[in-house]
Chains A and B, each alone.
Chain A
């Protein structure tokens, strides 16, 4: 069964939300692996394990291969409050995960993001207004994977590609630190330089808004203007993601043939 784009999007959102709840409740998702001989769960081919974040890591639950509901091992937990919270969130997560697997949504989850003219213009407009209102030197919108999406202001002298990649790496690294500290993310960062300062903020858990500013502006003003711009960007991003999944326009790849790809690499 091939899920519709809309169904895919909705289940992805549910899965993402359930994963966040589970994460906040202290659960850590780990990939499955066969259990060692002699263990309590021997013979079970677990799909996903959940461990309590704090050491020592312990088994909490697994999903059996036969589609039955997840099995929990609450007796291994000392904190009963933790059990309830983890049980509820784990149940929601496994429910969403099971549905996604059964409907093929999981296979469709890693999708390309497509930028259309309309959304690009909206994003560019938001960037221009933000750059003007915050007296910033430059504003960039970067995908979390390091792709530059839009820019405004004094960017001619900037190596935007390198800046995008390094910024994404920076955000990824601080995101890793946030996970270790049981934080969802560090949504804002500020680095002060002698002449140029940089403010980073994560929007919609998907894109990074970068403001470069100097003595013509201030951190307070940038933060104030970013708040409004982030909300607007988030709306545009939602539309973009939905369009990407629903395939609003014929894909460029529908015209591309295998010979086209081969010819690209012929010397």
Chain B
């Protein structure tokens, strides 16, 4: 849920990166963190296991500039993707303003992608959200791998509502900022509509 502070002239929004385990959610945030100017970012928090699997969430605060004298700040979160962390995923989704679904392009992860997407829809419903009404984009990560599923098949399976989608190779940053900019724009547009 966005938070507008008239006193400090700030608009604060929350974007959650969702997807199956090891799809590249944390990598997206790490790339964004590494490539963002120090003035525009805060500290990146990662609550992870010893093997660097996200345990609770990753968090990265970003400032994306000013709009009509109001600073726009986005809080980026990732969820833990492993199936048994569902309770944690529900908590991280609270107050979400925009969602990035990160799909793993590898053929072997097709079922995991679909399961994660259904899980996203269900967890949002439980919070009173409708995925089809939220600012939402899809990212197909790992496009550089030899076992990547053709884009058209991924679109059919993971993007039936034809929201904006991006091909990505997160460690190299391909598609990472395009994804972020689009979802951020959708969030601000949605808040504008709502007002």
- Residues on A close to B: CB < 8 A? 29-31, 106, 109-117, 120-121, 143-147, 149, 159, 161-162, 165-166, 169, 172-173, 175-176, 247, 249, 251-256, 258, 260-262, 264-265
In the bound complex, CA of A165 to CA of B46 (Å): 11
Q: How far is the CA of A175 from the CA of B65 in the complex (A)?
A: 34
Inter-chain contact B45/A162, CB cutoff 8 Å:
yes
Write out the residue numbers on chain B whose beta carbons fall within 8 Å of the beta carbon of A117: 6-7
Which residues of chain B are within 8 angstroms of A173 by Cβ–Cβ distance?
56, 88, 91
With A and B bound together, what is the CA distance between A30 and B128 in angstroms? 11
Closest Cβ–Cβ distance, residue A242 to chain B (whole Å): 15
Produce 1/0 per residue, B148-164, CB < 8 A to A.
00000000000000000
Given known A-B contacts A113-B1, A120-B7, A265 and B185 have beta carbons under 8 A apart: yes
Query: Are A112 and B94 in contact, CB atoms less than 8 angstroms apart?
Result: no
| Contact flags B65-95 to A (C-beta < 8 A → 1, else 0) | 1111010100100000000000110111011
Verify B68–A252 contact, CB threshold 8 A. yes
Q: Do A147 and B195 have beta carbons less than 8 Å apart?
A: no
Q: Which among B14, B68, B126 is the interface contact of A146 at CB below 8 angstroms?
A: B14
Does the CB pair B14–A252 fall under 8 Å?
no
- Select which of B61, B64, B129, B191 is within 8 A of A112 by beta carbon: B191
Choose among B2, B64, B129 the residue with the greatest number of A CB atoms under 10 Å from its CB.
B2
List 9 A-B residue pairs with CB atoms under 8 Å apart, sorted by A's residue number.
A113-B2, A117-B7, A120-B7, A145-B1, A147-B3, A169-B92, A176-B91, A252-B4, A261-B189
Chain B contact residue count (CB 8 A cutoff): 47
User: How many interface contacts (CB-CB < 8 Å) are there between A and B?
Assistant: 128
In the complex, B26 has a CB within 8 A of chain A: no
Q: Decide if A144 touches B191 in the complex (CB within 8 Å).
A: no
> How far, in Å, is A176 (CB) from chain B's closest CB?
5
Q: Is the C-beta of B37 less than 8 angstroms from some C-beta in chain A?
A: no
B184-A265 in contact (CB<8A):
yes
* Complex contacts, B94 vs chain A, CB 8 Å: 144-145, 172
Within B43-66, the residues touching A (CB, 8 Å) are 43, 45, 47, 56-57, 59, 61, 64-66
Q: Are A116 and B3 in contact (CB under 8 A)?
A: no
Please determine whether A112 and B125 come into contact, CB atoms closer than 8 angstroms: no
Contact partners of B65 in chain A: CB under 8 A: 264
Interface centre among B6, B126, B181 (most CB of A within 10 A): B6
Q: In whole Å, how far is A83's beta carbon from the nearest beta carbon of chain B?
A: 24
